[in-house]
Amino acid sequence: MPVLYSLQFMMKMTIFPSVLMIAIFLMTLLGGNQPKNWVGNPGSDLLWIKFIAGPGDASAMLNPLVFRYAIGGLGSVITYSMMVGLVLCVLIGLNATKIITEKRLEFYREAQSNANTTAYYVAATVTTTIEQGFSAFVGSVLAYLILNPSASFVVYLWNFFMLSWLSVSWALLLSIIVPPKSVSTVVSFFMAFFGLLFCGQTQPGHFKALYSNPTLAVFAGIVSPLRFFVEGIGVSEARCLPQQSGYTVADEAFNYPEYEQSYPYAFDRTFMARTDAGTAIVQSCSGWFWWVPASLVVGITIRIAGAVAIHLSDRPKQGKKTIRTEIVDDFNKCRSGEKSIFQSFILIGILGFLVFSGFFALSCWLILRENPEEFSRFVMAATE
């Protein structure tokens, strides 16, 4: 019997990573960026056009020729990141819900025995984050080996891990507030719907709209697991392009501001990294990580919301009073001196709200922060 249980446990632990690896392998092999997507660079023989034509004419003449290899290859990279990211966040999200849904009865039993609910939630969060993070790590290794991309491995490691970080955050929250029978449906819909619509490549969450509408940018950065994943990989690969390729420029390009509209970057070919242009346009294969702090804090904010939700949802099943009764009793006991104000349910609730508000405000700031020095010259192109 112990051997049978061990075999069942091993199968349970290996099924999901195997499915994830198969999905990443097939999508990378079939839909990943290939050398043929990067059409040969025509070189600098045509750059003389910029010296005999104005910015508008130069743009029309140069874009189809000089920047064709960069536009086609980068488009393939972005499409691949959307495909693999969408599958990854759905699979990780569904698997992450199991620690809540499959142990719900055990949780109710322990909660009725006055077990620490917060400790249970923290343990579930840490365990799931490690499990899904490891799966994402293995997936990033597999994708990098098959793709053999220009950007460093750290780029794919961070992007895959942070995608799992956000997916797990939302999966835990949704598995707490959604009825158990509907968790799989809701999580799948949430990951696919918000992930795809607000990843930066489709309306209404296209990068152009995100960088011109702060409210939409905050909304997309919080609800879409793919928001930073697509841009993170896309910009990192674009930074590897040669200087003067339509995305990166050299330090000695002193006439660049005058002719910036002849570049696909300023003509909304990608519209990525608008708030960190000073870093994004400098040629480098080390990656682009402006988005990491925002993604990290957003994940923490969602997990704090989950910690609050687990205390508020299904309280009768946890053997606890309703919120209204709890507040009234707590207030009366504090007023009569039976309970210290520092032990009151009301004070804990206020502190929890303040902590959540603080992290939410920090998330908004990190999503919207920009490099004013470098961003100013792109404002005109962004508003046209």
Residue 329 pLDDT: 81
Q: Is 160 helix (H, G, I), strand (E, B) or coil?
A: helix
Residue 67 pLDDT: 65
Count of beta carbons in the 10 Å neighbourhood of residue 194: 21
Per-residue pLDDT of 126-156, as tens digits, reads 999 999 999 999 999 999 988 888 888 999 9
How far is residue 46's CA from residue 166's CA, in Å, rounded to a whole number? 45
Q: Residue 206 pairs with which residues in a beta bridge?
A: 200
Q: How far is CA 327 from CA 175, 319, 346, in A?
A: 26, 16, 6
Residue 194 pLDDT: 95
Q: Which residue stretches of the chain have pLDDT < 70?
A: 1-14, 31-69, 244, 246, 249-270, 342, 371-384
What's the token pair of residue 18? 């195997």
Of 302, 102, 126, the residue nearest 183 (C-alpha): 102
How far is residue 12's CA from residue 17's CA, in Å, rounded to a whole number? 10
Burial of 138 (0-12, 13-18, 19+ CB in 10 A): middle
Residue 4 pLDDT: 44
